[in-house]
């Protein structure tokens, strides 16, 4: 099956700093990628839909100035958490739409903000 990678797999940062997370589709081109956030013992929450070459579409309640998404190529989307605070600590997961009604998910990035 198709493979999606994320980097880094985990990151610890100080409050007020920015963190960038990369999501790559390794063996297919993805016109659409998605970003999710998951808090402990909760389900995934869709944050935004990222289309190559255009602005991301954010879900209601997600601050677009805080969570910057860039989808510069058909295989790479990035999520930057700006001015991170402890409440932003979470498991961030991306997915890529491969077509044929399937999404492939990355392994996730665990962000801890001190």
Q: Are 4 and 26 in contact (CB under 8 A)?
A: yes
Q: Does 95 bind another protein (CB under 8 A)?
A: yes
The one among 55, 64, 85, 102 contacting another protein by CB under 8 A? 102
Which residues are within 8 A (CB) of 17 and not within 5 positions of it... i.e. 6 or more apart?
A: 83, 84
Q: What mask of x and - would describe binding to another protein in positions 30 to 69, judged by CB under 8 A?
A: --x-x-x------xxxx--x--------------------
Compute φ and ψ for 86, nearest 5 degrees. -55, -35
Q: How far is the CB of 60 from another protein (least distance, A)?
A: 12
The Cα angle at residue 113 between residues 110 and 114, in degrees rounded to 5? 135
Which residues of this chain interact with another protein, rule CB under 8 A?
1, 4, 6, 32, 34, 36, 43-46, 49, 91, 93-95, 97, 101-108
């Amino acid at each position: 099956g198709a493979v999606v990678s994320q980097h880094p797999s985990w990151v610890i940062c100080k409050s007020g700093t920015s963190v960038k997370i990369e999501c790559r589709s390794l063996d297919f081109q993805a016109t659409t990628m998605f970003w999710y956030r998951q808090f402990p013992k909760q389900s995934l929450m869709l944050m935004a839909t990222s289309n190559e070459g255009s602005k991301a579409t954010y879900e209601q309640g997600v601050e677009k100035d805080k969570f910057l998404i860039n989808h510069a190529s058909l295989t790479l989307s990035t999520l930057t958490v700006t001015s991170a605070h402890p409440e932003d600590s979470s498991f961030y997961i991306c997915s890529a739409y491969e077509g044929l009604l399937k999404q492939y998910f990355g392994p996730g990035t665990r962000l801890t903000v001190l």
